[in-house]
Amino acid sequence: MKKFFYALVFILLGTVIWYFFIKSHDYQVSMNVNTFPGTINQSIKSWSNSMDYSEMTEPSDPLNLTQKLQFGDSTHIYSWKIIPETDSTSRIKVYVRDTDNSFKNKLNIPFADTDFEKRTRKSLLDFLSILKAHIGDFKVKIIGQEELKSKFCACTNLSTSQVAKAAGMIKDYPLLDGILARNNVTLNGRPVIEITEWDRNKDSITFNFCYPIEKSDLLPQHKEITYKNIPGRNALKAIYNGNYITSDRAWYALLDYAAKNGIAVTGLPIEIFNNNPNMGTNELEWETEVFMPLKE
């Protein structure tokens, strides 16, 4: 009997020590969403950037993010864990800690619905509402392996954040379009971007924004325009419908598909834009062909 009593005391004491002094979070929230991890990753960062009192810390990997939010004198740490479940569904777990009132929260949470819990739920419900609205703004369809045909192009080179990719294209559009049109250069396909560098921790890219053209010995020369051949190669292909600003959602979908199917890819996508956004059509009718080249 004494052994049982001592064991029970030991277990209870261990539980108390773990709960108050070792457990890293005060509160946990789980959410199921109908999308893939890359969309969630980018949506968390976008949501954080939209608030003056929030910042992201350097991520350890795309599925684990840490966010710091300032509410008055309190600092809340949101540790996000993104768990892929199927090709189109994920679970999000958020571990939340108030750095200044952690012990107090742990003491009160089992017995009352605290202001800390209410604020956390409200914040995460706001995020979930934004995420679900965003999911309805685009579609990604994985086609599978397909040959990307070679293209000779006139290109500009840009380095931007992922979200500023479309703005960079808009900036250079008058330059490419104007010079090629004035010099009667024959176009040979839809505009293309070729990603040459992608830092997925910093969400930064370097890319060539290109117009496929007919090769000629009389091409106009300009300090910001280069002529190059984008070589043909085998690639995974997806069709993205939606605003070109967020076509990188298809990049993540292709990376997930490659990982699940054991396919080695370069991680440097190529996009072909089949619609002119200035025509005023519904964004879900805009089509981008997204290729993720296979490693040689």
Instruction: Please indicate whether residue 103 or residue 171 has the higher confidence score (pLDDT).
Output: 171
Residue 6 included in any domain? no
Q: What is the CATH number of the domain that holds 242?
A: 3.20.80.10
pLDDT of residue 14: 45
Contacts of 127 (CB under 8 A, 6+ apart): 43, 44, 47
The answer to whether residue 34 scores a pLDDT higher than 80 is yes
- Tokens 């954080």: give the residue: 48
pLDDT of residue 18: 40
pTM of the model: 0.88
The DSSP bridge pattern shows strands 27-33 and 287-293 to be unpaired
pLDDT of residue 151: 96
Mean pLDDT across the chain: 89
Round to whole Å and give the CA distance between 250 and 263: 16
**Residues 114-124: what's their mean pLDDT?**
91
pLDDT of residue 108: 65
Residue 13 included in any domain? no
Q: Are residues 186 and 218 in the same domain?
A: yes
**Residues 47-74: what's their mean pLDDT?**
90
Of the three residues 108, 136, 164, the one that is the final residue of a domain is 136
Q: Are residues 57 and 163 in the same domain?
A: no
Q: Which of 112, 153, 148, 158 is nearest to 237 (CA)?
A: 148
The DSSP bridge pattern shows strands 226-230 and 151-161 to be antiparallel
Q: Are residues 123 and 160 in the same domain?
A: no
Q: What is the CATH number of the domain that holds 128?
A: 3.30.530.20
Q: Are residues 32 and 149 in the same domain?
A: no
Residue 2 included in any domain? no
Which of the four pLDDT bands, split at 50, 70 and 90, describes residue 1?
low
Count structural domains, the chain.
Answer: 2
Q: Which of 70, 81, 25 is nearest to 48 (CA)?
A: 70
Q: Are residues 128 and 150 in the same domain?
A: no
For residue 7, CA distances in Å to 15, 23, 68 come to 12, 22, 40
Round to whole Å and give the CA distance between 92 and 41: 10
Which of the four pLDDT bands, split at 50, 70 and 90, describes residue 129?
very high
- In tens, the pLDDT along 224-269 reads 999 999 999 999 999 999 999 999 999 999 999 999 999 999 999 9
Q: Are residues 221 and 127 in the same domain?
A: no
Q: Are residues 285 and 161 in the same domain?
A: yes
The answer to whether residue 29 scores a pLDDT higher than 90 is yes
